[in-house]
Amino acid sequence: MTAHAVVAGVRRRARLTTLVLAVLAAALLLLALSVGTAVVSLPDVLSTLAGQGSRATDYIVLERRLPRAMTALLVGAAFGLSGAVLQSLLGNPLASPDVIGISAGAGASAVTAIVVFGAAGPPVALAALLGALLTAALMYVLAWRDGVTGYRLVLVGIGLAAILLSVTSYFMTRSQVTSAQDALVWLTGSLNESGLDELVPLAIALTILVPATAISARALDLLAFGDDTASGLGVEVRRTRLALLVCAVALAGTATAAAGPIAFVALLSAPIGRRLARDGGPALLPSALTGAVIVAAADFAAQHAPGLPQVPVGVLTGAIGAPYLLFLLARMNRGGHGG
Amino acid sequence: MTEHTLAEHTLTATDLRLAYDRREVVHGLSVAVPPGKMTMIVGPNACGKSTLLRGLARLLAPVGGTVELDGRDISTIPGREVATVLGILPQSPAAPEGITVADLVGRGRYPHQGWFRRWTAQDDAAVNEALTATDTIELAARPVAELSGGQRQRVWIAMALAQRTDLLLLDEPTTYLDVAHQVEVLDLLVDLNVTSGTTIVVVLHDLNLACRYADHLIAMRDGAILAEGAPADVVTTDVIERVFGMRSRIIPDPLSGTPMVVPESRHRMENSA
């Protein structure tokens, strides 16, 4: 087999993976638009999307269901992309916004806004985003020692996450039952309240962040070969790493702002995406699509699965993600190293 | 090989000072790499030879002095542009899990590609040629992790070759290889030097192999150059003693005629008379 055939084979596989995941995401979107208290048939959903719907289907599909379904997909994609960038950048499968304190920072900040300032809606989202960015900046400063290594950043992040979780707990225990209830739903990650107010800022943020991440995607791939090799191939290592870190944190921050820290989506999506694409790279697009599929599927199940009460989507992703985290930790310990 | 211009590029250092965490390792060193030649840097452990190579390759920013590529301060040239002219193979590089040989070698094409992945026929040709030159084309579909040490080292060299640079710097490319594979790797570098006119700089541990393969030998100690020139001119018992702190006898290599350093030791010197 020639090198060309091998490389072409790998590319074909990556493209096929991307295509299959995209079709799956689109199918889930249509399903979410169709199923509910009033079932809209698939042809009606399609004609409504094409602008040919009746007033009833316009209301149900476009106004009631589309914002939530789109938010689910975009939030999932943002978490998936963020996790893929962080894991590849820091060379550690634990490096995910929910493990290294980014989500905890967003959570502490949002809970403070809800409980202390009685905020609701967009101000909570803004507080969450600011919390994520501030936590990341603090983490970066604390982990800095003539440059930042992945392992130090992960350890510092886990430490920060612990501190921030206790800040959250403190405010929760000091608060009124009703605002604690709101805060708890937010912290679990829920799409129950999702409407255009969540979708529009998220979509705007992603139109900036996704291309910004894509520009550095190939440099990210080379960073996995070590700083010297990447630098020798022409990557500006420090600048690229900082830019990607900012993008990944902002992605996780905006997703959290829109729907709360939906547990473990960022942690899970990247390894699945990488395993499906199998090209030895960071598999950003497959990971983002995997995240979108996970959140859309989990939210659909949370709403419609028979026997399940209407639970926040984060409960379901948490139930899938937590065993995976345990598996990761167990496997690492056996390997005798932390990364 | 259209991307090659025969040994047009120059690499020099002037009063170069290099440090890790403020601990200075290379102290005000000046050197000009001879274009189109094989240069070997030798010296005792921790003499700063790898550090010098990293400084020359722009992997380490100088704390004093300059490195100039084609007469321009290398720190002012964009990384991508440097990488189209100068390739570096770091010491024991690491590959991500699960990557195949063809994929790894393909990464060498990065500096020649645009912001988004555009794989051209020229990239294909460069990868194929690199795999052929290093005799690794049969391994193309194999995961790098499954290869033997010698095969892996050849694959890394293939990646550097796929980069198609006029200057190629290698940091101890024969570490962890048995003697047969060491010779194989060095022969490969000579092939490259002869057929493409590539300027090659190698940090090498084995003094006698360095003497055999170098056109130009640089002997370092304590972050400074003690002697440089053709091995036959440079390698004397006096220089070896000053560089390595070891008494020796120098005889011609029976196969290449280049100097061969035979170390003196405290034991087993029955024929020393």
**Residue range(s) defining the domain that contains residue B212:** 11-263
Closest chain B residue by Cα to residue A278? B98
CA–CA min distance A289, chain B (Å): 19
Locate B18 and state its tokens. Answer: 């290099």
In a domain, B259, yes or no: yes
CA–CA min distance B248, chain A (Å): 36
CA–CA min distance B163, chain A (Å): 8
pLDDT digits (tens, 9 = 90+) for B111-167: 998 766 677 888 999 999 999 988 899 999 999 999 988 889 899 999 999 999 999
Q: Are A189 and A263 a contacting pair, CB within 8 Å?
A: yes
In a domain, B138, yes or no: yes
Chain B residues lying within 8 Å of A224, measured CB to CB: 96
Identify any residues that bridge with A210 across adjacent strands, giving them in sequence order.
Answer: none
Q: Are A316 and A296 a contacting pair, CB within 8 Å?
A: no
Q: How many Å is the Cα radius of gyration of chain A?
A: 20
For residue B93, give the nearest of A3, A225, A278 by CB distance: A225
Find, among A267, A268, A219, the residue nearest to A243 by Cα: A219
Taken in order B24, B66, B166, B197, the sign of the CA dihedral is: negative
Report the alpha-carbon distance of residue A261 to residue A83 in Å, rounded. 13
Q: How many Å is the Cα radius of gyration of chain B?
A: 19
Domain count, chain B: 1
User: Which value, to the nearest 10 degrees, does the dihedral of the CA atoms of residues B51, B56, B60, B65 take?
Assistant: 100
CB count within 10 Å of CB B179 equals 10
pLDDT digits (tens, 9 = 90+) for A96-118: 998 898 989 999 999 999 888 88
Locate A333 and state its tokens. Answer: 């310990």
CA–CA min distance A11, chain B (Å): 10
- Return the pLDDT at B77: 95
Chain B residues lying within 8 Å of A146, measured CB to CB: 21
In a domain, B272, yes or no: no
In a domain, B35, yes or no: yes
Q: Over range A254-275, report the average pLDDT.
A: 88
Q: Are A268 and A320 a contacting pair, CB within 8 Å?
A: yes
Q: How confident is the model at residue B181 (pLDDT cuts 50, 70, 90)?
A: confident
CATH of the domain at B216: 3.40.50.300
In a domain, B141, yes or no: yes
Provide the number of CB pairs (under 8 Å) joining chain A to chain B.
101
What domains are defined for chain A? Answer: 8-335 (1.10.3470.10)
DSSP SS3 for B57: coil
pLDDT digits (tens, 9 = 90+) for A11-70: 788 788 899 999 999 999 999 999 988 888 999 999 999 988 898 889 998 988 999 999
| Segment 149-168 of chain B within 8 Å of chain A by CB | 163
ipTM exceeding 0.85? yes
User: A3, B99: Cβ pair inside 8 Å?
Assistant: no
Closest chain A residue by Cα to residue B78? A234
Report the alpha-carbon distance of residue A4 to residue B162 in Å, rounded. 13
Report the alpha-carbon distance of residue A97 to residue A106 in Å, rounded. 10
In a domain, B240, yes or no: yes
A222 CB within 8 Å of a chain B CB = yes
Please provide the distance, in angstroms rounded to a whole number, between the alpha carbons at the two ends of chain A: 34
Instruction: Tell me the three-class secondary structure of A254-272, residue by residue.
Output: HHHHHHCCCCCHHHHHHHH
- Return the pLDDT at B1: 41
Q: Determine the residue among B58, B103, B135, B163 to mutate to test chain A binding: the one whose Cβ has the most chain A Cβ atoms within 10 Å.
A: B103
